[in-house]
Amino acid sequence: MDYKDEELPEKTDELGLPEKQDEKRLGPRFSIWKWLLFLFFIIYFVLSAYRIPLLIKLGNYLIVEHQAEKSDLIVCLAGEDVERALAVIDAYRQELAPYIFRAKEIKPDSLDYLKEKVRDYPTNFDLFKLIMDSFGIPEKVILSTEDRVNSTLDEARVVHKFVLDRGFKSLILITSLTHSRRAWRTFKKVFKDDDIRIISLPSHYQLFNPKDWWTKRKYTRELIFEYQKLIYYKITYLI
């Protein structure tokens, strides 16, 4: 008997009608979409119910702040000079440290040419010193080096060399609230083999508030960028 030419019996349903194979094949797929839709609603409900606490945690995580203690040096990280400089002034006036360090940033392209035309054009370091002078901070307590920096890691390395050369044993790190975790982690990494106490005192002159940052476009963008940099530092430098 030749089984090759024999037709297989057609499958039928309970009424004896031919079973629709396509519809049967769609059954499991439909079930998957049902579960995905259910999962989507569960996630949406959780995020809706706990959205505010989660957003607050995201904001709080960026901030590292320690108890103020007297130290050998106040380190002001470059950038955002107004909010950071004002916090430096407060720390110095509270006699938390006798010296202030502020690194010099890499020169912008064509700065030397510009200074030929605008002789007194100020750099960011010049503006920092101007703020210090305006609040009566003696110029002799403001320290720096000729090394130029272009990142938080650059600054940590420059400060590391400076601190070891001067024999300092403790420093106060002043930066913006949103930058404080990455800055502190970077300095801890660079100073990991040294017995140097690092205290993070971020500036509250920055108006970032963990409880409502998402309502202000400026701080929403800043938080997103900072988390991107945290991830980059973690992957690239293991910080």
pLDDT tens by residue, 135-154: 999 999 999 999 999 999 99
Dihedrals φ, ψ of 214, to 5°? -70, -10
Report which of residues 44 and 196 the model is more confident about: 196
CA atoms within 13 A on the CB side of 134: 9
pLDDT in the model for residue 45: 62
Number of folded domains that form the chain: 1
Token pair belonging to 157 = 């390395």
Report how far apart the first and last C-alpha atoms of the chain are (Å, whole number).
Answer: 76
- pLDDT confidence of residue 163: 97
Which residues have CB under 8 Å from 231's CB, separation 6+? Answer: none
CA neighbor of 187 nearest in space, from 86, 71, 92, 55: 71
Query: Whole-structure pTM over 0.85, yes or no?
Result: no
Question: Is 16 part of a structural domain of the chain?
Answer: no
* Residue 43, C-beta contacts closer than 8 angstroms, at least 6 positions apart: none
Domain assignment present for residue 54? The answer is: no
pLDDT for the residue numbered 224: 96
71 and 172 in contact (C-beta within 8 Å)? yes
Of the candidates 141, 171, 164, 144, the one whose C-alpha atom is nearest the C-alpha of residue 75 is: 171
Strands (E), 114-155: 142-143, 148-149
The answer as to whether 166 is a domain residue is yes
Query: Each residue of 67-88: pLDDT tens digit?
Result: 999 999 999 999 888 999 999 9
Residue 48 domain flag: no
What's the rounded mean pLDDT across residues 210-222? Answer: 96
Token look-up 């945290």 returns 230
Q: Does 139 map to a domain?
A: yes
pLDDT of 30 reads 58
Predicted confidence band of residue 172 (pLDDT cuts 50, 70, 90): very high
pLDDT at 3: 47
pLDDT of residue 80: 87
User: pLDDT, tens digit, for every residue of 3-56?
Assistant: 455 555 555 555 554 555 554 455 555 578 777 776 776 776 666 666 889 999
Instruction: Tell me if 171 is assigned to some domain.
Output: yes
DSSP symbol at 136: T
Domain encompassing residue 122: 73-237
Q: Look at residue 91 and tell me whether its pLDDT is greater than 50.
A: yes
Spatial distance between the Cα atoms of 11 and 8, rounded to a whole number of angstroms: 9
pLDDT over 90 percentage in the chain:
69
Average pLDDT, the chain: 88
Does 60 fall in a domain?
no
Pick the more confident residue, 80 or 132. 132
The answer to whether residue 117 scores a pLDDT higher than 70 is yes
For residue 236, CA distances in Å to 104, 160, 161, 179 come to 24, 20, 22, 18
Kindly report which listed range (118-132, 181-195, 202-216) carries the lowest average pLDDT score: 118-132
> What amino acid occupies position 218?
K
Domain CATH code at residue 202: 3.40.50.620
Examine residue 55 and state whether it is found in any structural domain, yes or no. Answer: no
Q: What pLDDT score was predicted for residue 157?
A: 98
